[in-house]
Structure 1
């Protein structure tokens, strides 16, 4: 077992994963051009065992109210696997597998697996959460920080969501679905046929982000980067749209990014 960074290459694509830093994709280069914002907190990190904010860090787990650390007061945000050290299970030329065992403060034992697979024109990330005991609610997703600018014009983000989750003053969905509004966004959108978002750096590169999951958060309020976050449920979803991980039904999700030069 090692926590050293793992680099995969396919054609002129290169991806680096840092298991010791939350198993984030720390770099994705296409023909030498870095797509992801660089830095300890950036790249693309897995959001497990929940995505976005949990209101007041509390969620209902069967008959128990669970309290998570308030890492974004007054809420808990993005899980804590992104702050943990993962283990490298195996690597090959174009695929690597990493694992993380759920531990305190999460109340249930379980294992998270992330598979990173690279081809010449695509990157596929797969997350699985399994329980070693009782069933529990969970979410999985990814939080990529795409560079807003690759040396030319700023990126354009195109997608056609069915609805937007109305955002309250506390940054959490109110429960109302509204017609999608123009950005800037820090918002959750519903795409019931699956996430399908295209990022275009004019004259340079196009990246299509897809997932079978029906939820995506788009965040573009920072100058340096934009985030397109496929996930298995909306923010605060452990309370509003709980998805159970059971001994016979693990939670599994994947996203594929496909690129082409313009």
Structure 2
């Protein structure tokens, strides 16, 4: 059984890059630049595209040799079509990854999400990434982005619960911090999960280091079948090449720390996550330049999955209840071994 299925993003939408000024040519387009928010702190830069699903368009370092990319920068065409899948990273709310057949049972009712995107057979990544976010308070190194969802029964597959979400994006202490928060504004309990979907530069030398306990095996639709051992678990602990396996899988009970390293370039990027980001997705498809290591609060199809809560993740927010947690990405330059 394969661990992954076809990915909806085509390979030419994500070119591997670590240093490429041409990848930021869209910053020189006044029509695009006017819709962006650029944060700076020392040599670090973070570029936000609020209208494109509240996405991060680039995270890079200014160097004498040009921009050094810590995340894969957005493709120029992503701004015209407003496609977060071609951005550097984007928020996932009110659930992460797929929901089987776009439906699940909750609180005695069937929640039908079918029709929210004809490209996908299963509901994908929630709905916040499909809408513009509003810019709130901002400074030179930080910005708040806001999104509020009001259900619309006339829209097929619309999420039927009202909620409010916020991203606090900040450059400080030599790192990128993103604090995600959400509040249930509905008059009834709401199932919930959240995460972020970062793409990293992928080269032949790239290695991923993470302490994980087990992997969710998946069917041809990238939906989980069972939690168990896999060679990727030990490979991640040792430093796994993205080319080692054909992966689009959830890993349970990780240490909430992962490092993406480019040892030939003597640099690495460390991802840290607060609870309840207790799950990690590795998307490293074969023969494809894309690479994602995603911090999430729930496994794929968590609303339908059967298993202990610590293995499945997700939660239920009561009316008025709010949840908040922080993610950070810290760049490192070093000639030492990057293993955790």
- Tell me the TM-score normalized by structure 2: 0.71
Q: Which residue number in structure 2 is paired with residue 9 of structure 1? A: 40
Residue 50 in structure 1 maps to residue 92 in structure 2:
no
Unaligned runs of 5+ in 2: 1-33, 79-85, 152-157, 233-244, 306-311, 335-340
Question: Separation in 1 of the partners of 2:53 and 2:166?
Answer: 12
Question: Separation in 1 of the partners of 2:247 and 2:325?
Answer: 24
Q: Which structure's residues are more often helix, by fraction? A: 2
Question: Separation in 2 of the partners of 1:22 and 1:181?
Answer: 35
Question: Separation in 2 of the partners of 1:253 and 1:167?
Answer: 28
CA offset digits 1:191-232 (Å, max 9, x no partner): 25x421110012242001111221000001163231011001
Matches within 5 A, 1:102-181: 102-104=149-151, 105-133=158-186, 134-149=188-203, 154-174=205-225, 176-181=226-231
- Tell me the TM-score normalized by structure 1: 0.91
Question: Separation in 2 of the partners of 1:188 and 1:125?
Answer: 21
How many equivalent residue pairs?
A: 255
Q: Which residue number in structure 2 is paired with residue 65 of structure 1? A: 110
CA contact (8 A) 2:95 2:192 kept: yes
Residue 218 in structure 1 maps to residue 282 in structure 2:
yes
Question: Separation in 2 of the partners of 1:70 and 1:154?
Answer: 38
CA contact (8 A) 1:148 1:223 kept: no
CA shift for structure 1 position 248: 4.7
Answer with 239-248 or 207-216: which moved more: 239-248
CA shift for structure 1 position 142: 0.5
Residue 228 in structure 1 maps to residue 273 in structure 2:
no
Q: Which structure's residues are more often strand, by fraction? A: 1
Answer with 1 or 2: which has the greater Rg.
2
- Once superposed, what is the RMSD of the aligned Cα atoms? 1.8
